């Protein structure tokens, strides 16, 4: 595979940026790609980057944070509770909160480093059993618990929902999954249960293969890897 040039990356970023709705922002998913690609995207104006493995993220952060202190790192992949401590000092958002145990550990580590970490709750809407996340009912129950016992959840700021659609060709099915996440998001915003409703603004959905559909259903963050950086090794 031929390495990408900075022109390749900046052209791809520009064409995605053009397709964004005014309320949506791009998370450039740099996982499995070298830090040099992050630098090229940064030089082209990109600031939010998504990573899905702790070690890889920490390596990139160590290499880049002094030269590029305004990079905003989002964690988007499966996160083991015993690894939260490595990213708690610097992570800007953890989008992939998939269990109460993980949420409790994020709270604990955030308090340890004196931060409030923005989080999204991952909703399971896809048909694949392998995908993770809370069911809509689990999310409703969790938001109610956070409302009832906020002292247990110090250290995080709940800012919205994240989801991945089924990996299928059927666009109507994908759109309906995104729409169901948006309806849950709006229901929660109207529920009176959010401690800081003004912070609950993010709907992270859409990847390289389906982001136009996600934008149509109201995504505010789209997470795009291969359409910017090419296939992952
Ligand atoms: C890898 C990944 C993406 C980006 O996928 P592409 O198809 O390369 O755009 C988005 N979201 C999550 C959660 C991912 O793990």
Predicted local confidence at residue 44, as pLDDT: 97
Taking CA atoms, 150 is separated from 60, 161, 194, 195, in Å, by 34, 19, 10, 8
Query: What residue spans define the domains of the chain?
Result: 6-229
Q: Tell which atom from ligand 1 comes closest to the C-alpha of 226.
A: 8
Q: What integer pLDDT is reported at residue 89 of this predicted model? A: 98
Task: Supply the pLDDT for residue 27.
Answer: 98
Dihedral, CA atoms, 176, 182, 186, 191, nearest 10 degrees? 80
Can you say how many angstroms the Cα of residue 152 is from the centroid of all Cα atoms in its chain?
23
Question: 10-44: per-residue pLDDT in tens?
Answer: 999 999 999 997 889 999 999 999 999 999 999 99
Is 2 exposed, middle or buried (CB count within 10 Å of its CB: 0-12, 13-18, 19+)? exposed
Q: Which residue has the tokens 């040099």?
A: 36
Tell me, using a 6 A CB cutoff, whether residue 225 lines ligand 1: yes
Backbone angles phi, psi at 37, to 5 degrees: -70, -35
Assign a CATH topology to domain 6-229: TIM Barrel (3.20.20)
pLDDT in tens, 44-74: 999 999 999 999 999 999 999 999 999 999 9
What's the Rg (C-alpha) of the chain? Answer: 17
Expressed in angstroms, the distance from the first to the final Cα of the chain is: 9
Name the least confident of 52-66, 115-129, 148-162.
115-129
CA distance 177 to 206: 11
Mean pLDDT of the chain: 96
Beta bridge partners of 134: 123
Is 226 near ligand 1, meaning CB less than 6 Å away? Answer: yes
Query: 173: closest CA among 119, 141, 217, 116?
Result: 217
Distance 136 CA to ligand 1 centre (A): 22
> Which pair of tokens denotes residue 165?
């659609």
């Amino acid at each position: 595979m031929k390495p990408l040039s900075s022109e390749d990356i900046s052209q791809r970023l520009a064409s995605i940026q053009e397709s964004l709705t005014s309320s949506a922002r791009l998370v450039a998913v740099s996982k499995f790609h070298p830090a040099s690609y992050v630098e090229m995207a940064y030089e082209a104006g990109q600031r939010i980057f998504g990573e899905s493995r702790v070690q890889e993220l920490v390596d990139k952060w160590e290499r880049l944070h002094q030269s590029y202190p305004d990079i905003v790192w989002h964690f988007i992949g499966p996160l083991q509770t015993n690894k939260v401590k490595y990213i708690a000092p610097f992570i800007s958002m953890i989008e992939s909160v998939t269990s109460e145990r993980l949420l409790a550990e994020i709270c604990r580590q955030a308090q340890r480093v004196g931060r409030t970490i923005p989080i999204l709750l991952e909703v399971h809407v896809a048909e694949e059993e392998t995908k993770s996340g809370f069911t809509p009912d689990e999310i409703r129950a969790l938001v109610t618990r956070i409302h009832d016992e906020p002292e247990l959840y110090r250290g995080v700021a709940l800012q919205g929902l994240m989801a991945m659609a089924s990996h299928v060709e059927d666009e109507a099915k994908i759109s309906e999954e995104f729409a169901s996440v948006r309806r849950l998001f709006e229901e929660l915003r109207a529920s009176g249960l959010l401690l800081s409703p003004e912070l609950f603004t993010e709907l992270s959905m859409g990847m390289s293969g389906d982001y136009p559909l996600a934008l149509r259903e109201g995504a505010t963050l789209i997470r795009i890897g291969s359409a910017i950086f090419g296939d992952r090794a």
